[in-house]
Structure 1
């Protein structure tokens, strides 16, 4: 494993500060933004940080084993890179940078349907190790072709997002007129010029586009029609019936992303899903929703051996990873922290973030005297 680590940026907050200096405001605010008043953003972080772990200091010291087995693969750590749309807008070539780093360091990278890199390109640079996040297409032919491409590229795991029945009401995105590519209004042009590193990298990489979806877009489609295209073509309804269709058509692992309660997890089990992601979309969809950690805690181990419980939303550190694992998660994902790292450090950002999180996580396990991630629930303070 590469040991690249920049000591000037030892945590997510320092990466965030540097990223904000190097990104246009419209891109940074898209990454940061939550729904409406952004109360849910704080709820995610606060309730996750309320989890308490208890050390067992008078037991023998341990050398923690951070490896985790998941869906037949063994990963080096219990965290991966969550799907984040428009990554290439936030930092040019971010999907490729992160996918390469994840493959090199043996953690999963999940490619968003609305990424700026094609699913075929990410399969190539990740050496076939990436996962794919899927929005359910409304058109049967589009869905069939997309699944065919995913399978042909060698993906084994698809993560179907179910928590976007509507577009999130994100105040800053509305103010900024965010689109892909970004609208060239005066405010956004000024923001680009104020960030020369981003501008030069973008000029070198080329204007970001939704590469995976290009074959399904009308030629020359105006940017202001993108939202309508997404709503009518890409983001179809995802209820139990639609998921059963996907389950019947996909012979790899099916993970359902965006559930937060036991009722939906029970339906996922009945459908035959292999995993669920306890997630509220990073609080970007429902401001008054319950936190992901609250949803995970309510399950209290009742789905052990029935389905894998993955977790995201609010995870920013190795401590957060440990808290989620102790609360019953089988695996965790982070989104914003990885994008901060790439914006802050460019090509080295992915490896830095992975090593930073791993160092933090190992410190927690060593302090607890916890030998393995699977033992963390024993250290949860009741």
Structure 2
């Protein structure tokens, strides 16, 4: 690289960027940094040249140290000099490389943080050890993320679910005012009478009259083991959105080795999230058993299990419970993740066993979840949906 740097035609901006990437070891070939670049370099060095980071035997300098105020200042610096997407990566790296979880309990650090889904997951995992002075600040961070995500997903979810419910309640003996003429014509094209230049409809297609009654029961059962943090966050928000729709009766159940029903908290997704406890073991069988008791109208019910399928309970009984739900007419959906990161590590043997029962298990992004719910409401082939989603 030194030979290239010596070339007088090398772009100064390119040299500057390489210097920030490589650190002060590149002062000689790339030149020293000054001013704003020096501040940016110090912020990068504090994280990636830290004495506390894993260094593979190399001597390191800098570091954030153990002071919460110092970390808060560092967070302020990176928010000032880097775009938010980069800030989120650096924050995640700091938590992983420097074990800053305990410093997240300090209010001054929470005030300086760039909120995102992964940081919400970290805060929720610390919920049980968080001192009272930090909980208000943590709730503000969580609420900011929840509000951002609700703006992103709420409208699409309501539109997709409402449309699916309308289509699902279409009837074949509608009143005249309820006839869907476009679909009626398409359904009767074979009955076109050329001599009269008209269609004689043998089957009328229409919509059921609007009703305020509950048309579907939705039960979301969410694994709250540590690897499912992002899925827990999105599940809580989607559950709150679905619960706001009067045509649905929505329940939210989270589990590890214990089962917690958070349905009473669905009016406030922040309360829902603080009701979770990330980490611990996994007893899927026990959780499904609890959810079976919530399902009173099988053919009008949708059961969504969100889990990596690593079962710590009784596997054979878990599979029998799923088979029983399917046989009763429940539309069963199994998601390996509800996040933007794709499928996590998961138990492939259990996924294959579920597929044999007609229940495909696949990862789903938050943006695709409304379409998935629409497909489930209309009782479409979810295997086809999973394959279509995998091809995107």
For the pair shown, which has the larger CA radius of gyration, 1 or 2?
A: 2
In proportion to residue count, which structure has more helix?
Answer: 2
- Report the TM-score, using the length of structure 1 for normalisation: 0.29
